[in-house]
């Protein structure tokens, strides 16, 4: 599926946020601006990634994936 380069850059940063959030730099945020994203788009993209990560961690913590697997049988 074709994705504009500016959104690809945002997706790459979302992956980094997911795996190593403490390594995200202001320069990377500035790079997204240079790529053509505005602050609202950056905030929304990173917010969605953060929320997904939070739900995923909660599911891991409470074993919800295991419960869903049991229900599917």
Closest listed residue to residue 32, CA positions, set 51, 16, 4, 13: 13
Close Cβ partners of 64 (under 8 Å, ≥ 6 residues apart): 58
Res 69 pLDDT > 80: no
pLDDT digits (tens, 9 = 90+) for 9-68: 999 999 999 999 999 999 999 999 999 999 999 999 999 999 999 998 888 888 776 665
The pLDDT, as a whole number, for residue 29 is: 98
Which domains are seen in the chain, by residue range?
5-72 (1.20.1290.10)
The pLDDT, as a whole number, for residue 31 is: 98
| The two three-digit tokens of residue 4, written as one number | 């504009």
Res 71 pLDDT > 60: no
Q: DSSP labels for the chain?
A: ----HHHHHHHHHHHHHHHHGGG--HHHHHHHHHTT--HHHHHHHHHHHHHHHHHHHHHHHHTHHHHHHHHH-
- Report pTM: 0.80
| The two three-digit tokens of residue 36, written as one number | 């053509």
């Amino acid at each position: 599926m074709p994705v504009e380069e500016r959104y690809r850059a945002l997706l790459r940063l979302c992956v980094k946020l997911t795996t190593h959030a403490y390594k995200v730099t202001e320069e990377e945020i500035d790079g997204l601006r240079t790529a053509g994203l505005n602050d609202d788009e950056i905030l929304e993209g990173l917010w969605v990634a953060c929320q997904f990560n939070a739900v995923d961690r909660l599911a891991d913590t409470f074993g919800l994936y295991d419960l869903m697997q049991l229900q599917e049988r």
